[in-house]
Structure 1
Amino acid sequence: MVLALSVGCIGVAAAASIATGNLLAVDQSAGTNQQGALFIVDQSSGNRTLFSDFGSSAQGDTGVDPSGVGWMPAGLLGLLGSAEAIVTDSSAGTNGQGALFEVDPVTGYRAQLSDFGNSVQGDVGQDPSGVLVVPGLLGLTAQILVVDPMAGTNGQGAIFSVNSSGSRALLTDFGVGTNQGVYPDSMVYWPGLLGLLGSTILVADGSAGTNGQGELFTVDPGTGTRNVLSDFGNSAQGWVDTNPESTPMSVTISPSGAIYVLVQELSSGGGGAVVQVNPTNGFRTLLTDFGTGSTAQTAIAPNGITWLSSSGLLGVTDADGGPEGNGALLTVNPSTYQVQTLSDFGNANQGALGSDPSGLTLAQ
């Protein structure tokens, strides 16, 4: 996998390494020439370190518009493999059709793993966004999965499986067969019993379903078979936003298996919301409305969500949050529904400044 070069020898100031429990946030417009950056964010203090500058060639292959981030634990693609961050860039690669980067967790050095415009590496993409790692039995058959909302038949989206050499295979084409999608762009892994039986991928599609208000799909990681768990325009399955522009943006799960979906463009105030989805019947319950201000902290453009291991809270990126509009990382308490700011990307007292935080994951 990625070559672990010494940061000192490539002329870049030393950076803190990624530790278990760190939050990893991708900022699409931070870094050199606004070509994006990967930040480390402390779960407790919200302090930030600009870990990998996608505009700096001193840290490896450069990017254009990085937006999604995942975490590869050590040994998951083989017993000798090292841990690393993996980042999608929707506009890098051949013909600007996207790329997948791997980032060394000690140095921040990047290497392009898969060029989604290069057909030699497999089926091509158009706009790779969400990325996750699906473990296999004993860690020997793990998959890196990348969802591309504009790939596949009629540009209705696709999920690619990427191996350790960067070769790609199409896992599921949302434009073919039953339970078709429109714009799938976020995923999370549901481990099932002991991580072996009943595992599935939850995929948020912002434009599928009744009145185009979005759906939450389940996808079998082995066969690519799709089913609809929750149709966000179907009132028989619970909460439906009155705003037809409302769209599910991102999905995560808690250690107990609770499903949380981040919704943008909410009707009341426009600031988005967090919705809980029943894993059995897809029934939706509105937890937090970011637009009302009744939750102690509002949001403007929430776009990424993950579970925070140390606090039992949800972490949410807001691309336009904070007093300066540089973006923010918020926390949501799923029990009390309260929202607070953990890291203001426009506040230099918390570390390197950001501009447009989007993708979010936890190193674990």
Structure 2
Amino acid sequence: MKRKLLAIALITGSLAGTAAASSVTTGNLLAIDQTAGTSGEGVLFIDDQSSGIRTLFSDFGNSTQGPTGVDPNAVAWVPATLLGLLGAGQILVTDGSGGTNKEGALYQIDPIMGNRVLLSDFGNSAQGPVGEYPSGVLVAPGLLNGLLGGSGVLVVDPYAGTNGQGAVFSVNANGNRAILSDFGDKTGPQGQYPDSMAYLPNLLGLGGSVLVADGGAGTNGEGELFKLDPTTGARSVLSDFGSSAQGWVDPNPESTPVSVTVSPAGQIYVLVQELSAGGGGAVVKVDPSTGDRTLVTDFSDASEGPTGIAPDNLAWLSSGLLGVTDADAGPEGDGELFTVDPSTGQRNTLSDFGNSQQGALGSEPSGLTIAQ
């Protein structure tokens, strides 16, 4: 689950077909499971986009693959076109409770063997301002610092910043950090729980904005979608999820936006998770100009496909579908990876993390991205 709990029960996931994949290739889905693997310390799976077959790629409890993890929660791919120093095709994973004093870590994983190195220790003040619980990582080739030889890497932490209202860090190729935007300061609209990001290029393909989903800001605390200037860190509100003036509002006041993605055509999709019992969640489409929202799919509506319980992350797939992880769905409750047709809202199960016939077993899939 994306929200940090006071105590996290680590459930050791049984592993079937644990041989590591030889490499990550273009089109592979990369899925983080927070509590699978050795000692329940998390796993990075490769998931076939067509068949849903899973292969264990990096076991965060296996020290032979590098520093071990605690609570890996989000993943990003470093594209081959990025003009930075990380190297093309690398994988980045945030760990909310890794690093010094369990204040978070950002790992870099090689795409051949799944071996890890610690890129940035969010508890080490020698690398910059410390974090509390980094929960999302974004690699944006269009960011200015990427074009100037930096890494183009941003990390969001919902508990960092002034009054613990969240912050977005920039991280360079040496792992050194700076705060790009402090959601608790008064230089712009304030946040409450920013915890996921996506990159929205402008129409000319140059520059653009960082979209940040905040699960606690806005009208009635039902969340907001911010636009963030990647150069200055200046914030504006694109969509207030508690305001009916901008369209769809979840009738469940406990709901919260937890993930955002952008299609190649610049269409914005936001995943909303209902935290109350029997939730289900939804995907909504957000107009990039007005912030107006329309419902795409309701995970509690069985007529649209298999239902969800705690959808956690979404990503745009090369098939033109949306991929959505759900930490608690599936017949065994070990999680599912759904696909959603953005035109019809119809859902299908791509990968059941409790089904050993689809590969290595999981227990709490969360972060999701595509290698491209």
> Shorter-chain TM-score: what band?
over 0.9
CA contact (8 A) 1:75 1:81 kept: no
Q: Runs of 4 or more off by more than 3 Å in structure 1?
A: 77-80, 136-142, 266-269
Select 1:357's aligned residue among 335, 344, 365: 365
> Do the aligned residues in 2 keep the contact of 1:266 with 1:291 (CA within 8 Å)?
no
Aligned 8 A contact 1:16 1:49 in 2: no
Match of 2:99 in 1: 93
Partner of 1:176: 185
1:219 aligns with 2:225: no
Percent same amino acid at aligned positions? 68
How many Å separate the matches in 1 of 2:354 and 2:20?
22
- Offset, 1:269: 5.2
Paired residue for 2:219, among 203, 210, 213? Answer: 210
Change (3 A) 1:282 1:80: closer
Aligned counterpart, 1:189: 199
Q: Which residue of 2 aligns with 1:343?
A: 351
- 1:309-328 matches, within 5 Å, as 309=318, 311-328=319-336
Query: What is the one-letter code of the residue matched to 1:104?
Result: D
Q: Who is 2:137 aligned against? A: 131
Q: Equivalent residue for 1:262? A: 271
Letter in 2 for 1:284: R
Q: Distance in 1 between matches of 2:76 and 2:111?
A: 12
- Please tell me whether residue 296 in structure 1 is matched to residue 305 in structure 2: yes
Distance 1:80 1:272, change over 3 A: closer
Q: Map 1:56-95 to 2 at 5 A.
A: 56-74=62-80, 76-78=82-84, 81-95=87-101
1:270 positional shift? 1.4
- The residue number in structure 2 matching 1:9 is none
Q: CA deviation at 1:134?
A: 1.6
**What letter corresponds to residue 162 of structure 1 in structure 2?**
V
Number of corresponding residues: 351
Deviation at 1:16, TM superposition (A): 2.7
Note if contact 1:268-1:292 (Cα within 8 Å) is conserved in structure 2: no
Distance 2:323 2:196 in 1: 15
Q: Distance in 2 between matches of 1:37 and 1:277?
A: 32
Alpha-carbon distance, 1:13 to partner: 5.0
Which moves more between the two structures, 30-39 or 238-247?
238-247
Give TM-score, length-normalised by structure 2. 0.91
Offset at residue 141 of structure 1 (A)? 4.2
- C-alpha separation between the residues in 1 aligned to 2:276 and 2:115? 42
Q: Is the 8 A contact 2:35 2:42 kept in 1?
A: yes
C-alpha distance in structure 1 between counterparts of 2:223 and 2:21, whole Å = 40
Specify the SS of the correspondent of 2:302. coil
Distance in 2 of aligned mates of 1:268 and 1:59:
38
Unaligned runs of 5+ in 2: 1-17
Mean Cα deviation higher: 14-23 or 300-309: 14-23
Distance in 2, Cα, partners of 1:78 & 1:229 = 30
**Quick check: 1:254–1:307 contact (8 Å CA) kept in 2?**
yes
Counterpart of 1:92 in structure 2: which amino acid? G
Hey, what does 1:305 align to over in structure 2? 314
Partner SS for 2:357:
helix
